A and B are shown apart, each in its own frame.
Chain A
Amino acid sequence: MPRKLAACRGYSANFAKITLICSTLLAGTAMAFTQAKADDINWRQFEGASIVWAYDIHPYADAVAAQLPEFEKLTGIKVTPELYPDDAYWNKLTIQLSTKSPSWDVVGTGIQPAWDLAPGQLLEPLDRYLNDPKLTAAGYDYKDFFPALRDALTWKVKEGQIEPGSGQVWAIPHGFENIQLFYRKDILHKYGVKVPTTPPEMSAACEKLKAADPAITPLGVRGVRFWSSIHTAAISIARSYGVHDFVVKDGKLDTGLDSPESIAFHKDYVDMIKKCAAPSFANDNWYQVVDGINSGRTAMAIDSNMFGFWNDVAGKPASGKIAFAPPLHAPNSKNFESNIWIWSLAMNAASQKKGAAWLFIQWATSKRVELNGAVAGKLVNSPRASTWSDKAWLEYAAKPEFNNFVDTFKTVQDRAQLAFTARVGFAEAMNGWAVAMQKMVNGADVKATLADLASEIRSSM
């Protein structure tokens, strides 16, 4: 009996121990589950809604569009992407928002166009959504976005003008670009051309390339009479000459485009374009730049770095043939400068489905969608620090076909910054600059054209 009792006690002790362990495990699991539930939001709170997401025809859009079924399954929200060619998109965006049309809920934008859109209350400030725990998952981690990008998309509207640095969040970044020189290794190697570092060096390299093969366009750059042709090569190189779009003179904002530095820059740049760019320069947008470098009709290009990356992806005709370098700089300057462009998602203030629109913005800019897009070779420059520390992305980007992409990105990113002055009226001034550039390339006197441009900008300030 005592043995039986002892055995019974032993079983009881074991049973109690197992029960305790199981209970602890169960409680832990339940707590973890409850915690996870608390961290997340109800993704199906706008189930049945249907929203329209408008964007440029762009691989960044493709990266998000490829993952859309996952979002629709998660939320029960139907997303219709409306994608337009670059020029058409920006014009349509302005018209849709200025007419307060609710037909677009989420739009793609950059910081510069958003400067013109926000003061007219055409974009919805996003702080309210970001700070609402019912609408934003704790795991979203807004602070994971690079601080410079977050700051660039945060500003105050004061007396109709932009005060950057603090205020409201107007858009969420989902991809960014810095401006680089990328080139066809095979073509430069074939003709013994060194990678140029200044506009005069580029002009000389172009003459050499043209002499060797007249069918080659030595340099691909945008030239359309729209601000998009200024924000890449022109502004990046201009900054290394000491050119500023706007300067403060006697406490007042004034244009710096007729300064001696600007005249020096334009003389070199115009000469370079005449010697290097395609005859269709005035009609060339980024589509032509990418097509040129991809097909090998163009030897070099100065534009957003991912244009080189996309064409290096395995299976593309130019895979492994495109290498990267910092953008050109002034002959008397030691450093290059590189402008940044932040592709962002913003909400139409006239949207009637703002909750569903926010869930889409949140999902499209989440860590997972960013990383998936990056390793698919499309969302190349992720704005999230977590992507850049993720082994999967780093291993992918370090593949031999991408040549020196990662190293050049890091070198350029150290000096890359927003090269424009934050102000309402960005589009008008920069469109004027693009038209003036075309005039100078077509033979107009540089100094006189810049004086006219400056006077035109001053009259609109």
Chain B
Amino acid sequence: MDIRGSDGIVTLQPSASQLASPKDKAVRSAEERRLDWWSIAAIAPAIIVLLGFLFLFFYGVFQSLTDLRFGRPLVHFIGLNNYAALIKTGDFWNSIRATLVYAGSAVLAEAVFGLALAKLFATEVFLARVMRPVILLPLVLPPMSVALMWTTMMDPQSGIMNYLLSLAGINRFAWISDPNTAMFSLVLIDVWTYTPFFTLIIFAGLQGINEEVREAARVNGAKGWATFLHIELPLIAPYILIAAVFRLIESLNQFDIIFGTTQGGPGNSTSVLSVRAYITAFQNLAFARGAALMVVNWMIVLIGTFAMVKLWRFVRQRVS
């Protein structure tokens, strides 16, 4: 209990009310009313936008509880039937697995590579100076262009990737054309595209560390690796985690890169929930089932984000 704060309020409030005349009270109350309207007007756009988002979201949830599809003139409320039908199919669970594997592997690999690159950028070596502006290029490319570019490069017969492998004496790789290698190939594309995001955030974190802290570690006999592991890494952990939160949300919802390369195939090997939902709604024209898949995807994103934010708070508390 904050006793000091309570004390302040108790002593100040009666003094103020004792000093104010009834006329002042009326003026102030009128002013307050005016101020309220101004406040409401000021936040109205935000409220309208928020309500719009909420309406669309709940409309999507409502659609998932109907039998809405093309060519069916009447729409019926069918409760949780779409969800019940989904969880009975192996393809649905395969999509959940694919979504988690894709997002988990991509974010983990990006964090590791992003950290390594950020550490490199924090030095003044020549390679770092050259790479700093170049590294951002993948981030500014539209994801669909990235997908088309990699589809061409990963062509098993005429793609440049296999040509480069052949120079190193490595046999032809199927990349996105084989169910055993397709997921790995997609994660590779995601890592290539979004590692710079991690690099930027972690680099900012590294720049924020006071040089005196490093100096103190050095004075205490800590070598380079120990300084990084015991001093720098704990200090930049909140930065890594906040980047991971953003990337996890995006990776769990990733659509462009996957649809632009494999469309969820071969077979269902890369059929993540967002791609399955799109195909169900807009190719198979079963809108309600597509909406149900999106709601499931949203729940996974929500749970994943909550867990990451909790972890971030925990780490930040420990650091501070």
Contact = CB atoms under 8 A, between A and B. Distances in A.
Contacts of A120: 70-71
Contact of B267 (A90, A427, A428, A439): A439
Contact of B263 (A226, A444, A456): A226
User: Chain A CB within 10 Å — which of B72, B89, B263 has the most?
Assistant: B263
Nearest to A279: B156
Contacts of A283: 151, 155, 176-177, 261-262, 265
A130 to B, nearest CB: 24
Nearest to A157: B71
Contact of B283 (A278, A297, A431, A452): A431
Interface of B is mostly: loop
Interface stretch (A91-99, A312-320, A327-335, A360-368): A91-99
A278 B266 CA distance: 14
B156 A442 contact: no
B179 interface: yes
User: Chain B CB within 10 Å — which of A119, A282, A456, A459 has the most?
Assistant: A282
Contacts of B90: 452
B73 interface: yes
A282 B172 CA distance: 17
A444 B70 contact: no
Contacts of B267: 225, 435, 438-439, 442, 444
A250 B178 CA distance: 41
Interface in B149-181: 151, 155-158, 172, 174, 176-179
A98 B70 contact: yes
A431 B91 CA distance: 14
Contacts of B266: 225, 282, 438-439, 441-442
Interface in A256-305: 278-283, 297
A280 B177 contact: yes
Contacts of A79: none
A116 B157 contact: no
Interface string A433-461: 00100110110100000001000100110
A444 B172 CA distance: 23
A116 B71 contact: yes
Given A120-B71, A160-B73, A444-B267, A279 B179 contact: no
B286 interface: yes
B268 interface: yes
Nearest to B280: A428
B282 interface: yes
Contacts of B157: 217, 278-280, 297
A226 B283 CA distance: 8
Nearest to A224: B263
A31 to B, nearest CB: 51
A224 B155 CA distance: 14
B114 interface: no
A452 B179 CA distance: 19
B282 to A, nearest CB: 5
B73 A94 contact: no
A160 B268 contact: no
B279 interface: yes
A117 B174 CA distance: 37
Interface in B287-316: none
A87 interface: yes
B285 interface: yes
A439 B2 CA distance: 65
Given A281-B177, A459-B85, A427 B284 contact: yes
Contact of B70 (A117, A282, A439): A117
Query: Range of interface residues on chain A?
Result: 35 or more
B265 A435 contact: yes
A428 B266 CA distance: 17
A200 B38 CA distance: 80
A119 B268 contact: no
A328 B265 CA distance: 27
B264 interface: yes
A121 B151 CA distance: 37
A224 B268 CA distance: 12
B284 A431 contact: yes
Interface in B177-206: 177-179
Contacts of A435: 265, 267-268
Contacts of B265: 224-225, 282-283, 435, 438
A297 B284 CA distance: 34
A121 to B, nearest CB: 9
A206 to B, nearest CB: 15
A270 B21 CA distance: 93
A91 B151 contact: no
B71 A91 contact: no
Nearest to A117: B70
Nearest to A118: B71
Interface string A112-135: 000011111000000000000000
A297 B266 CA distance: 23
Given A119-B70, A280-B156, A280-B157, A91 B282 contact: yes
20 contacts: A91-B283, A94-B282, A94-B283, A98-B70, A117-B70, A160-B71, A224-B263, A225-B263, A225-B265, A278-B157, A279-B174, A280-B177, A282-B262, A283-B151, A425-B285, A427-B283, A435-B265, A438-B265, A439-B268, A460-B284
Given A117-B70, A225-B264, A279-B177, 15 more contacts: A91-B283, A119-B71, A120-B71, A160-B73, A226-B263, A226-B283, A282-B265, A283-B151, A283-B177, A283-B261, A297-B157, A425-B71, A425-B285, A438-B267, A442-B269
Which 4 residue pairs of A and B lie closest in terms of their CB atoms, listed nearest first?
A119-B71, A428-B284, A282-B266, A279-B156
